[in-house]
Amino acid sequence: MALENQSIIVKKVVEEGGHGHHGGAWKVAYADFVTAMMAFFLLLWLLSTASKDTLKGLAEFFSDAQQNRGQPGGVGGVLEGITVTPFEPIQPETSSPFTFQLSVPMGEERQDMEPTFALDLSEEWGSDADRRRQQTGEVERFEAARERQQFRAAEEAIREALERSPDLQAYRQNLRIEQTPEGLRIEILDQERTPMFPVGSDRMYPVLHRLLQVVAAAVRDLPNRLSIRGHTDARPFPPGADMDNWKLSANRANAARRVLIEAGVPPERVAEVVGRADTEPLVPEDPMDARNRRISIVLLTRAHGPARAEDTKPSGSAGDGGAALLPDPGTTAGPDKAPPAPTEERGH
């Protein structure tokens, strides 16, 4: 009876301590899965960047591989079939590090074919040559921008010099400056009442001498070459004359060259001295216009500058003995005199 009246006691025992290691096999499986997905999407990306011809060749390559399965390959017997050679040795990089090639010879019956599959990603990533060309282009653009800035500074220096000189302010209309693809073009023009040369002569008036000195001071420290060109109007010389517009324009350009060199421009900076006669009129609708008679000084860009500077002496020039000066019309000789009185010179 005593045993039947005993109660059953259930005791819950809680073990103290950390949990045991549950294992890391799932991490390995997950890493394999991520790697496989990365390879899969990389393959999709490579196929999307390949051209149609490459994809067609790849499809034909694997189709032919299935048709030739079982034919004699590298060895016979149980192992006969397709022989896959190791990858070709890595060649030195010539175009892009993202270009690779897989060559798979397919046995004796496929020796005449070229089972080569190549993916060229140079268009996507750019080759070394492309990068070099891009860097060269950036340097050229930087140099061109700096050159234009130097040309603007030279133009401002010339205009400021005319503004500061009371004697030269009256000749601002005789000066024409513009930036062209060839370079900075500085032109000293004749006007109806303010000529730079006497009719038919290459002996300049002192005012032109002073204007050329202003130009020389603005450009003599720049590295660019100079092209000096003479222009005349269309007025012809009389028959039998020893002079014509070609010789006259060349002699006037050479006289301007001598003044520029005397004013400090290094002689090697002069790339050419050219006479253009009346072939390039500034006012084409009026070949006899006074503005067609002018001296053009072009500060050449590096792209247009000749490879070698040449001092050209046109026939009939006065040599290098210095520029020949005449007194300004209506004044006495001397570069410091007042502006000339109005004249009505026209021609050449």
How do residues 49-71 score in pLDDT, each as one tens digit? 888 888 888 788 877 555 555 45
What percentage of residues in the chain have a pLDDT greater than 90? 45
Distance CA 166, CA 318 (A): 31
> For residue 294, what pLDDT band results from cuts at 50, 70 and 90?
very high
Tokens of 78: 């149980």
Q: What is the DSSP string of 21-41?
A: P---HHHHHHHHHHHHHHHHH
Q: Which domains does the chain have, with CATH numbers?
A: 154-300 (3.30.1330.60)
The mean per-residue pLDDT over the stretch 136-149 comes to 82
> For residue 222, what pLDDT band results from cuts at 50, 70 and 90?
very high
The mean per-residue pLDDT over the stretch 36-56 comes to 87
Edge-to-edge strand order for the sheet containing 226-231? 175-180, 183-189, 294-300, 226-231, 270-275
Tokens of 235: 């007025």
β 294-300/270-275 pair status: unpaired
**pLDDT higher for 340 or 37?**
37
In 3D space, the residue among 343, 198, 245, 347 whose CA is nearest the CA of residue 287 turns out to be 347
- Amino acid at the residue 97: P
Strands (E), the chain: 99-103, 116-120, 175-180, 183-189, 226-231, 270-275, 294-300
Q: What is the pLDDT of residues 244-276, one digit of tens each?
A: 999 999 999 999 999 999 999 999 999 999 999
Min mean pLDDT across 246-250, 263-267, 302-306, 316-320 is at: 316-320
The mean per-residue pLDDT over the stretch 116-127 comes to 53
Distance CA 184, CA 225 (A): 11
**pLDDT higher for 308 or 332?**
308
pLDDT at 234: 94
Distance CA 328, CA 343 (A): 10
pLDDT at 198: 93
What percentage of residues in the chain have a pLDDT greater than 70? 62
The mean per-residue pLDDT over the stretch 233-237 comes to 93
Question: What are 298's strand-pairing partners?
Answer: 185, 227
Distance CA 259, CA 245 (A): 21
* Radius of gyration over every alpha carbon of the chain, rounded to an integer in angstroms: 43
Q: Is 70 exceeded by the pLDDT of residue 206? A: yes
> Is the four-CA dihedral 202, 208, 211, 217 of positive or negative sign?
positive
pLDDT at 60: 81
pLDDT at 254: 97
Min mean pLDDT across 80-84, 261-265, 325-329 is at: 80-84
Given a contact cutoff of 8 angstroms between Cβ atoms, the answer to whether 275 and 284 are in contact is no
> Is the four-CA dihedral 74, 80, 81, 84 of positive or negative sign?
negative
What is the reported pTM?
0.54
pLDDT at 319: 44
**pLDDT higher for 132 or 102?**
132
Distance CA 252, CA 275 (A): 8
Average pLDDT along the chain: 76
**pLDDT higher for 98 or 64?**
64
User: Which residue is associated with the tokens 């070698």?
Assistant: 308
User: Which residue is associated with the tokens 């401002």?
Assistant: 156
In 3D space, the residue among 204, 206, 283 whose CA is nearest the CA of residue 248 turns out to be 204
Element (H, E) at 246: helix 245-262
In 3D space, the residue among 212, 201, 208 whose CA is nearest the CA of residue 328 turns out to be 208
Min mean pLDDT across 44-48, 105-109, 290-294 is at: 105-109
